[in-house]
Amino acid sequence: MSEKKQMDLGPIGIAVAANVERLRDTQNLSYAELSRRLDELGRPIAPLGLTRIRDLKRRVDVDDLIALALALGVSPTTLLLPHSAASTGAEAAGAEAVTDGGEKYPLSQVWRWFVAESPIDVPPSYPPSRAAAEFQLRAGPDADIPGGFSVPIDFERLQSMLDDVRRNMKGARLTRVDDARRNRDHHDGDD
């Protein structure tokens, strides 16, 4: 009998397998215990199936991903992102591709995309850019609005409001700096 070859997984599939194994190991869970938890969640994966995930010989489908995240007590997003960013929350120096041969993005940017904060190709900014605001409205779950009303979004007005916030924040910083200088100058005159 010939041994099955390793599956042709992309970078996210490999990250999921590594994260499942890392989290199982750090929580001191046996494959049997993780399998029992998955069975209780209605998504059974035998211990052999879990070792096949670890060995990159079994794919994790979306339903498996959700059940594994529940069984391991993490967000599905934590399983998807390579460990260096998922575990630290820090700005990672490295970049990762999310598809085979795809463009590489900073891990912190991939994380923001995974949590529907901004498009993958838009660097973070404060306040959020128009592209990020539009993405959040598109990517987030639909709100259950009583009476089935839709809420039209006036993006020009939204951008104008963001510009006002920027100006007000800049003005507030300048006022604080001026107040601090006056205070310092007043105290310098007491010497």
* pLDDT averaged over 10-residue windows placed end to end, the chain, 191 residues: 66 94 96 97 96 96 96 93 56 69 84 84 79 78 54 65 74 67 66 53
11-80 belongs to which homologous superfamily? lambda repressor-like DNA-binding domains (1.10.260.40)
Q: What is the pLDDT of residue 86?
A: 42
Omega within 30 of 0 (cis) for the link into 44: no
Confidence at residue 87, expressed as pLDDT on a 0 to 100 scale: 41
- Contact indicator for 84, 94 with CB cutoff of 8 Å: yes
How far is it, in rounded angstroms, from Cα 36 to Cα 24?
13
* Cβ neighbours of residue 144 closer than 8 Å, sequence gap 6 or more: none
Q: What is the pLDDT of residue 158?
A: 67
Between CA 170 and CA 179, with CA 173 as vertex, the angle to 5 degrees is 140
What's the pTM value of the predicted model, to 2 decimals? 0.66
d(CA 24, CA 28): 6
Closest CA to 19 of 85, 103, 91, 63: 85
Return the SS3 of 28: coil
